[in-house]
Amino acid sequence: MKLDPDLIHYLTKEHFRVLTAIEMGMKNHEYVPVPLIESLAALKRSNTYKIIQLLLKHKLVMHYNKSYDGYALTYMGYDYLALKAFMKRGTLTRVGIKIGVGKESDIYLCEGGVKEEDKDEEPVKGERFKNPVVVKFARLGRTSFRTVKNNRDYLKGRSAQSWLYLSRIASLKEFAFMKALYNKNFPTPVPIDSNRHGIVMSFIDAYPMSQIKELENPKKVYAELLEQVIRLAEYGLVHGDFNEFNLLLDEDEKITIIDFPQMTSTNHPQAQFYFERDVKCLQDFFMKRFGLKFEGIPILEQDIEKKEDLDKEIKASGFVKEELGDDLKEFDQIHEHFLNKEEVEDEESESDDEEDIEEESKQEDEEKVPKLINNNTTVDVNEEETKEEIINKELESSSDNDNESEENQEYKKSRPKKEKKDKTVEKKKKEKLVINEDYVKEKAKKQFSSNFKKERSKRNKNKDKKVMKANENIKDYFVE
Ligand SMILES: Nc1ncnc2c1ncn2[C@@H]1O[C@H](COP(=O)(O)OP(=O)(O)OP(=O)(O)O)[C@@H](O)[C@H]1O
Ligand SMILES: [Mg+2]
């Protein structure tokens, strides 16, 4: 799901009041009851209703109507709240395009605040923005079913709002580390702003090292990178994900380190393990790609002299204290989530009985995985809309990542069979239909055909019309 760059400019104060009311209400409710939204937003019922419908249409909120009528923020709703805050502070002026999708993050290239004197300047030739910045949104919980299953203990009892909360902590942590490292002259992007689960940082015009096939002097680059790993340890830190995807290299072979939510203290019981893993990652890459040879890996306690305890300083910093007070439990826990995620996935890809796991996870998923990760969408079934049509609609909306495959025909045949297994869907068929969007997404990604593409583009045309209509409605609310 991509952000609509224009929507932020159409949403009015009232829309944000309702979004904020839902955010506040989510502290105590998984889905915030409508009367509470009305009172928190201090808006009239009819007005609130109209606004909610629009937010729903744009997928900024999700609806629950089993035992009562309630709404919760989606990640997208949370995104717009953060974007609004950035804009208010002037650290962001325009939302741009998605340039990266991490396992648990989305990265957007945006326009950052422009100084008054530069307002009339044109962007540098070939550049999209005058002051390009990157916005990184954390999306904790956006993992595969199997990862979710294996992380079960960690996930226990997590509700939608707690995923937003954890994403906020991960982002706060990443920003705090980036700031501290930047201040110590580590080659990181410039940390500009942080709000909720989002970070604004400078855009680095460089390539991830994974994409670089040739280097003028690989030994020199390796030495520089190793020096950074060692320097981090001297400051009491282990990056924890120091690989070719998190290291950017520009035309002049200048390095930039990114991606910090999993940063770990050298006091962590497994610090040596993570440290070794970082160095090994680097060595493996330079060995495979550039034929370099290595002997041994430094030992933290033996070979590295700690100069500063940056980890402690960060936790004690005003910025972190202001957000979390003394309760740093989640802050400390968050790196476990990031550090162990990859291992779980690797382990599983070697598993023999993937099918079983998937099947089992699907069932568990319904019971345990919070709605926000799972994105189970409750959809009203009107008389003309068949289940087939609704699932196709979901496929459309989940096909951002259209990975074509010839297997789609097979999928089409197999889909009804799988649905039959889903008792919940069968049970609610009469009035409401619960669609496991992630399940559908997984399938859609794997099994997409040209047939379906044609169908989709036809539907998209209709959808565009609907969006235009919605935008017209928004214009009614447009102040300024
Ligand atoms: N400041 C930046 N400037 C330019 N590109 C960036 C910047 N930050 C991130 N990116 C791009 O976005 C990609 C993902 O960023 P990042 O590694 O921080 O996210 P992630 O969620 O950890 O991703 P993954 O889980 O795949 O490691 C990077 O590989 C890089 O290409
Ligand atoms: Mg990364």
Least confident of 75-84, 158-167, 173-182, 364-373: 364-373
Least confident of 141-155, 367-381, 449-463: 367-381
Q: Which residue has the higher pLDDT, 80 or 469?
A: 80
CA pair distance 245, 401, nearest whole angstrom: 20
Average of per-residue pLDDT across 271-286 = 96
Looking at the chain, the whole-number percentage of residues with pLDDT higher than 70 is 64
Q: Which of 298, 324, 350 is the last residue of a domain?
A: 324
The sign of the dihedral angle between the CA atoms of 149, 153, 156, 158 is negative
Q: Which of 291, 324, 357 is the last residue of a domain?
A: 324
Q: In this predicted structure, what is the pLDDT of residue 142?
A: 74
- Indicate whether 386 belongs to any domain: no
Instruction: Give the distance (Å) from ligand 2 centre to CA of residue 163.
Output: 19
Mean pLDDT, all residues of the chain: 75
Q: What pTM value is reported for the model?
A: 0.71
Residues 6+ apart with CB under 8 A from 349: none
Average of per-residue pLDDT across 217-227 = 96
- Indicate whether 31 belongs to any domain: yes
CA pair distance 191, 317, nearest whole angstrom: 15
Whether residue 259 is found in the same domain as residue 318: yes
One-letter amino acid for residue 236 of the chain: G
Whether residue 44 is found in the same domain as residue 2: yes
Whether residue 105 is found in the same domain as residue 159: yes
Whether residue 40 is found in the same domain as residue 86: no
Q: In this predicted structure, what is the pLDDT of residue 162?
A: 80
Whether residue 211 is found in the same domain as residue 199: no
- Indicate whether 296 belongs to any domain: yes
One-letter amino acid for residue 40 of the chain: L
Which residue in this structure is represented by tokens 């160095």?
A: 279
Lining residues, ligand 1, CB within 6 Å = 100, 102-105, 107, 134, 136, 189, 201, 203-204, 208, 245-246, 258-259
Whether residue 89 is found in the same domain as residue 69: no
The sign of the dihedral angle between the CA atoms of 392, 396, 397, 400 is positive
CA pair distance 244, 286, nearest whole angstrom: 9
Instruction: Give the distance (Å) from ligand 2 centre to CA of residue 343.
Output: 15
Is residue 143 within 8 A of residue 151, CB to CB? The reply is: yes
- Indicate whether 418 belongs to any domain: no
Reported confidence tier of residue 182, pLDDT bands at 50, 70, 90: very high
Q: Residue 268 pLDDT > 90, yes or no?
A: yes
Whether residue 161 is found in the same domain as residue 84: yes
Domain of residue 267, CATH code: 1.10.510.10
Q: In this predicted structure, what is the pLDDT of residue 335?
A: 78
Average of per-residue pLDDT across 10-38 = 95
Whether residue 92 is found in the same domain as residue 48: no
Q: Which residues are within 5 Å of ligand 2 (an ion), measured at CB?
A: 246, 259
- Indicate whether 5 belongs to any domain: yes
Is residue 426 within 8 A of residue 364, CB to CB? The reply is: no
Nearest CA to ligand 1 atom 11: 100
Nearest CA to ligand 1 atom 18: 259
422 is catalytic: no
Mutate to test the pocket of ligand 1, among 107, 251, 335, 339 (most ligand atoms within 8 A of CB): 107
Nearest CA to ligand 1 atom 13: 100
Domain of residue 31, CATH code: 1.10.10.10
Catalytic pick from 193, 241, 311, 365? 241
Structural domain total, the chain: 3
Nearest CA to ligand 1 atom 31: 208
Whether residue 111 is found in the same domain as residue 218: no
Q: In this predicted structure, what is the pLDDT of residue 257?
A: 98
Q: Which residues form the domain of 264?
A: 207-324
Q: Which residue has the higher pLDDT, 2 or 172?
A: 172
Is residue 241 within 8 A of residue 151, CB to CB? The reply is: no
Average of per-residue pLDDT across 420-426 = 45
- Indicate whether 346 belongs to any domain: no
Whether residue 50 is found in the same domain as residue 98: no
Q: Which residue has the higher pLDDT, 9 or 370?
A: 9
Atom of ligand 1 lying closest to residue 174 CA: 18
Whether residue 86 is found in the same domain as residue 199: yes
Whether residue 244 is found in the same domain as residue 166: no
CA pair distance 394, 325, nearest whole angstrom: 41
Average of per-residue pLDDT across 113-122 = 70
CA pair distance 112, 129, nearest whole angstrom: 8
- Indicate whether 50 belongs to any domain: yes
Looking at the chain, the whole-number percentage of residues with pLDDT higher than 90 is 52
Ligand approaching nearest to the C-alpha of 105: 1
Reported confidence tier of residue 159, pLDDT bands at 50, 70, 90: low
Nearest CA to ligand 1 atom 1: 203
pLDDT digits (tens, 9 = 90+) for 429-459: 433 333 344 443 444 444 434 444 544 555 5
Q: Residue 343 pLDDT > 70, yes or no?
A: no
Atom of ligand 1 lying closest to residue 246 CA: 17
Ligand approaching nearest to the C-alpha of 248: 1
Q: Which residue has the higher pLDDT, 342 or 44?
A: 44
- Work out whether strand 191-195 and strand 237-238 pair parallel, antiparallel, or are unpaired: unpaired
Q: Residue 384 pLDDT > 50, yes or no?
A: no
Is residue 263 within 8 A of residue 237, CB to CB? The reply is: yes
Reported confidence tier of residue 101, pLDDT bands at 50, 70, 90: confident
Q: Which of 295, 324, 353 is the last residue of a domain?
A: 324
Mutate to test the pocket of ligand 1, among 111, 136, 186 (most ligand atoms within 8 A of CB): 136
Is residue 338 within 8 A of residue 170, CB to CB? The reply is: yes
Q: Residue 396 pLDDT > 90, yes or no?
A: no
- Indicate whether 185 belongs to any domain: yes
Domain of residue 96, CATH code: 3.30.200.20
